[in-house]
C-alpha cells in the first residue's frame, strides 16, 4: 500500500484501502474460522479427558452454539467488508462513467461546431460562386461555371 499522508498526491484512495483490507480478510477469515472450529473440537475432547466424563448433550449443544456464534460473527464482519468494497467500487465506476460521458459530450459539441463552421464556409463559397457566375453571364463571357448544389 502507498504511504499515507495528508497533502501528497500519493495518498491511497478509499477504494485502495478497502481492496487491501478485503485481500487480507479473504485469507485470514478462512484461517480464523478453521482455527475456531478445530480449537472448539479439541476443547471438547480436552474437557472430556480432563474431567474424565463424557459431556452431556446440553453441554455439547451450548458449546456448539458458542462456536457457531463466533464463526457467524467472523463471517458477518467479512461480509460487511465486502459490501463496503462493492459500494466503493460502484461509486468509482459511476465517477468514471461520468467523466467519460463529459468527454463524449464535449467531443459532440466540438463536432457540431465544426460541422456548422464547414456548412457556413460552404454556403459562403457557394454564394461567391453564384455571384461570379452571374457576373460572367452579365458581361457576356463564354465560360460557364457550373455549381452543383445537390452535393452540398
Give the span between the Cα atoms of 102 and 106, in whole angstroms. Answer: 6
Tell me the C-alpha to C-alpha distance, in Å, between residue 145 and each of 84, 86, 107, 122. Answer: 72, 68, 38, 16
Tens digits of residue pLDDT in 70-97: 889 988 988 888 888 888 889 889 999 9
State the maximum Cα–Cα separation within the chain, in Å, rounded to a whole number: 130
**137 — pLDDT class (breaks 50, 70, 90):** low
At 35-58, the pLDDT tens digits run 888 888 888 788 778 877 777 778
Query: Of 2-6, 127-131, 141-145, where does the model show the most confidence?
Result: 127-131
Query: What pLDDT score does 36 carry?
Result: 84
Give which of 8, 18, 11 is closest to 87, Cα–Cα.
Answer: 18
Which range of 19-23, 84-88, 116-120 scores highest in mean pLDDT? It is 116-120
Each domain of the chain, given as residue ranges in start order, spans: 14-139
CB 147 within 8 A of CB 129: yes
> With a threshold of 0.75, does the pTM exceed it?
no
Q: How much is the pLDDT for 145?
A: 53
Average the pLDDT over 130-150 and give the result: 61
In 3-state terms, what secondary structure has residue 52?
A: coil
* Percentage of residues of the chain with pLDDT beyond 70: 80
Amino acid at each position: 500500500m502507498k504511504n499515507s499522508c495528508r497533502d501528497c498526491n500519493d495518498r491511497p484512495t478509499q477504494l485502495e484501502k478497502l481492496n487491501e483490507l478485503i485481500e487480507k480478510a479473504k485469507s485470514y477469515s478462512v484461517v480464523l474460522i478453521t482455527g475456531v472450529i478445530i480449537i472448539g473440537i479439541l476443547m471438547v475432547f480436552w474437557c472430556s479427558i480432563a474431567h474424565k466424563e463424557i459431556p452431556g448433550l446440553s453441554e455439547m449443544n451450548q458449546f456448539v452454539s458458542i462456536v457457531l456464534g463466533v464463526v457467524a460473527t467472523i463471517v458477518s464482519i467479512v461480509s460487511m467488508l465486502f459490501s463496503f468494497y462493492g459500494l466503493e467500487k460502484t461509486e468509482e465506476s459511476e465517477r468514471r462513467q461520468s467523466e467519460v460521458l463529459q468527454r463524449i459530450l464535449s467531443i459532440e459539441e466540438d463536432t457540431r461546431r465544426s460541422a456548422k463552421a464547414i456548412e457556413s464556409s460552404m454556403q459562403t463559397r457557394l454564394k461567391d460562386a453564384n455571384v461570379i457566375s452571374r457576373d460572367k453571364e452579365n458581361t457576356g463571357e463564354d465560360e460557364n461555371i457550373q455549381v452543383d448544389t445537390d452535393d452540398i
